[in-house]
Amino acid sequence: MMNVNFFNNGDYKPQPKDKVKINELTVFVQPDRRRIRIGIKITPFQERPNLLITLRRADGQLLDDVTVIETMHFDNEFTMHLRGADDPAGAYTVTVDLFYETRNPPQDQKTTAFDIPTEQEA
């Protein structure tokens, strides 16, 4: 009989929901300056968590949000679009809430700030 391993990491051990956290949040600005790629790594889980991803300007204005219901993956990537501005240059934040039954309060939350350069700087 052959064993098939679907996971690259030998440390993969699914955790109960009370131990699931956001381990890493990364933001990469695409060369067109109109899209960002967001990477979210969470603790391997036994029960699938929900994610709420919000994109805000430095002044707090909400630009976009994404809700992921019961993600199947603990290593996630998403693309978000910056719409409505002639020049997207400026400071932004991405916040990720991880939750199960209720989002208030979330079980875990991570925020990262980033800047989009001007067209001349890019």
Segments making up each domain of the chain, as ranges? 17-116
Residues 6+ apart with CB under 8 A from 77: 37, 38, 39, 40
Residues recorded for the chain: 122
Q: Does the pLDDT value for residue 88 go beyond 60? A: yes
Q: Which of 64, 62, 113, 115 has its CA nearest to residue 88?
A: 115
Across all residues in the chain, what is the average pLDDT? 90
Return the C-alpha torsion angle 55, 57, 61, 66, nearest 10. -10
pLDDT for the residue 79: 95
Q: Give the pLDDT of residue 31.
A: 94
The pTM of the full predicted model, rounded to 2 decimals, is: 0.87
SS3 label, residue 53? strand
Domain 17-116 CATH superfamily: Immunoglobulins (2.60.40.10)
pLDDT in tens, 25-75: 999 999 999 999 999 999 999 999 999 999 999 999 999 999 999 999 999
